[in-house]
Amino acid sequence: MAEEKKRFKIQKDKVTYKATVIVAIAIVASVCIVLRAAYVIFVEGEKWEAKIAKLKIENRAIPAVRGNIYAKDGRLMASSLPQYYVYVDFRADGLKIDTLNKYLPALSDSLALYFGEYTPEGYRRHIMTGYKKQTRDYQLIRRKVSYTEMKQIRSFPFFKMGPNRSGIIFSAQAQRKKPFGSLASRTIGDVYGDLDKGGKNGLELQFDSLLKGTPGIGTREKISGRYVTVTNVAPENGADITSTIDIDIQDIAQTALLDKLKEVNAESGTAIVMEVKTGAVRAITNLGKMSNGDYGETQNYAVADQSEPGSTFKIASMIVALDNGLISPSDSVDVGTGVYMYKGNRMTDHNHDKGGYGKITAAQSIWFSSNIGIAKIILNGYENNPSAYVEELYRMGFNKQLQMDIPGAGKPIVRHPQHNKDTWWKTTLPWMSFGYETQIPPIYTLNFFNAIANKGKLMKPYFVENIKRDGEIIMKGEPEVVLSNIFKKSSTMHSIRQILVDVVEHGTGTPVKSDKLKLAGKTGTAQLSQGAAGYKAGRTQHQVSFCGYFPADNPQYSCIVVVRAPRTYPSGGGISGVVFKNIAERTFAKSAENSMSDVKRDSSAFMLPVIHNGRYEDIRYLLDKMSVHYEDRNKDWDWVTTRIEDNKLVLHEYSPRQNLVPNVYGMGAKDAVFILENIGLRVQINGRGKVYSQSITAGQRYNQGTTIVLNLR
């Protein structure tokens, strides 16, 4: 028993001794740590603070993400997408030369295959140059790369080992992108290459402060051998804008205008579509010829171009005359032989070389766009008091500057004889009455016609539906009435609307007449001054326009088309009017399609689709997707034609006969071109849609290299 007590005491003493030693060591270590910390703080403090300061950059701006711009239906029109500079830090802690040499051949091959800036050997030399310089930010790729390309680079040999072992660095920089390219590009606007500088024009400039957001604040520090930015205050990202632009109508307007500009080789053109009831701009396109001969959105002619409107302005003069009882639509006006001398100046109608119109009604002076007719009507009422005429124009809003959402917008310049005495000439009144000696941007002319369609109510054009931040609306664009009524009399409104219909039905606007819907509007043609040469004969260029609305009996949209300096005969109806017609018909068809989508299908109805010749795989895919039953007698066919037999759709092989022109009626351009070029024909295409005629009749023999013209619609 005593022996056991003795052993227990010995063990206890050992444990006590060990514990005492451990506690003593801990106390000594703690004292050393405290003393060392005190020494660092109080003795070496300034030295370490200086070193830390070198590794930190205080109050570094953290850029906010610029807000997006959307179309009316939510489709993206402008967004900031990240792009990356690619660098290598050859002094990264984990980068070893043996590992680099091991993977260098495979890495160089991958870079050469994917980017092709250098050969594989060129990339080897390029990479080793950076290593020898021990550069911390050696630029590997000369251009910025996309997010997809960045992910691909990360998968390359050596780089997939990560930044610490390979030194790969990606420096992000946002770049503004427009998914729909040039559609409404000038109105949406542009930004500077450095997004921090903000918007240059359009909505990007107008709402720059909201789009760019508020930068955050961070500190750049070196941690584990690499610099990182530590966020102190998070950035507030920019707000998102939903514009009034309807992408489908915008595409319709731009395509129709571009086709015509190319056809007439014009200098520039613009087209605007506005919603009658609200003033919301649903499409706006501005195309100018560039140095390479192509057309692009270089200027916002629609809102900034201050030019003489020409004959579209005659409608304003006629409203003045009707409202003030100077004349009625059925009263006669003698325009004689189409030549009229006033104060020593010669005024002509467009048909003066054919003997003029003689006696016509006041309404017909608009139908036929008679300069003399309108001038005589206005001179009869205001020759001795031109101020009264101009005051009437002001009453209809022609002196109002609309504060629109587009920076750099022009304003109407309509001179007043009392306020502009130095530039008011004896001939100013009559020439002003038919659209000269005034400068009016196209959107103001459109807004005036929109008021006619809107039963006299003049709306303010607007381009923004709403602005949201984090899903919450902070600003909303709403219809704004500028004038409750531009008409003094309701009879004037009814007369003018009928006259605008008759312009299309019987007058200069007959090329605009449509068998699909009723259109109303007015043609316009104005000479363009050639600087010091003025309107000198032989050097004159013209601006042609058409402004109106559709459908005429229940207006939904107003539209103006202006084409500047066409290289063909300057016809407001034949050039701008045809563009207007195409826009109206296609927009109306789009609206009809949308309304039909809500109609329930009649389950008792049975219809087989019309399927034209085409590739077997494509036609079978479409029929399967539409759940259309068909009989397939496939024998490894490439091309098929379809026939309806006993209420069944049957596919048959389509095989063009050798040396005979095949029938491509009803095919799309891609399939038709493939078949024709495959047998050695050269193909020229006019229009778009499906083939409805071909210049060489099907079944005729042909020679290799012969050109066949396909007309599509």
Q: Which CATH number fits domain 614-712: 3.30.10.20, 3.40.190.10, 3.90.1720.10, 3.30.70.20?
A: 3.30.10.20
Tokens 């003393």, residue? 35
Distances (CA, A) of 428 to 122, 345, 556: 73, 11, 36
**What pLDDT does residue 607 have?**
53
Angle at 65 between CA 246 and CA 137, to 5 degrees: 130
Residue 620 phi, psi (nearest 5): -65, -40
| Rounded CA separation 68/80 (Å) | 7
Helix (H, G, I), strand (E, B) or coil at 161: helix
**What pLDDT does residue 535 have?**
47
Strand 240-243 relative to strand 464-469, pairing: antiparallel
Q: How far does the chain reach from its first CA to its final CA, in angstroms? A: 117
**What pLDDT does residue 255 have?**
94
Asked if residue 487 lies in contact with residue 493, where contact means CB atoms within 8 angstroms, the answer is yes
| Rounded CA separation 497/553 (Å) | 9
**What pLDDT does residue 555 have?**
97
**What pLDDT does residue 35 have?**
76
Residue 287 phi, psi (nearest 5): -120, 130
CATH superfamily of 248-594: DD-peptidase/beta-lactamase superfamily (3.40.710.10)
Q: Strand (E) positions, 89-127?
A: none
| Rounded CA separation 128/107 (Å) | 12
Q: Strand (E) positions, 92-139?
A: 138-139
| Rounded CA separation 362/360 (Å) | 7
**What pLDDT does residue 608 have?**
54
> Length of the chain, please?
713
| Rounded CA separation 450/458 (Å) | 7
| pLDDT tens-digit readout, 443-474 | 999 999 999 999 999 999 999 999 998 889 99
| Rounded CA separation 311/527 (Å) | 11
DSSP state of 581: H
Residues (pLDDT < 50) of the chain are 531-538, 596, 599-606
- pTM (2 decimals)? 0.72
Report the candidate in 323, 315, 245 with the shortest Cα–Cα distance to residue 285.
245
**What pLDDT does residue 602 have?**
46
Report the candidate in 555, 571, 566, 446 with the shortest Cα–Cα distance to residue 501.
555
DSSP state of 440: B
Asked if residue 185 lies in contact with residue 101, where contact means CB atoms within 8 angstroms, the answer is no
**What pLDDT does residue 226 have?**
55
Assigned architecture for domain 51-75+180-243? Alpha-Beta Complex (3.90)
Encoded amino acid at 640, one letter: V
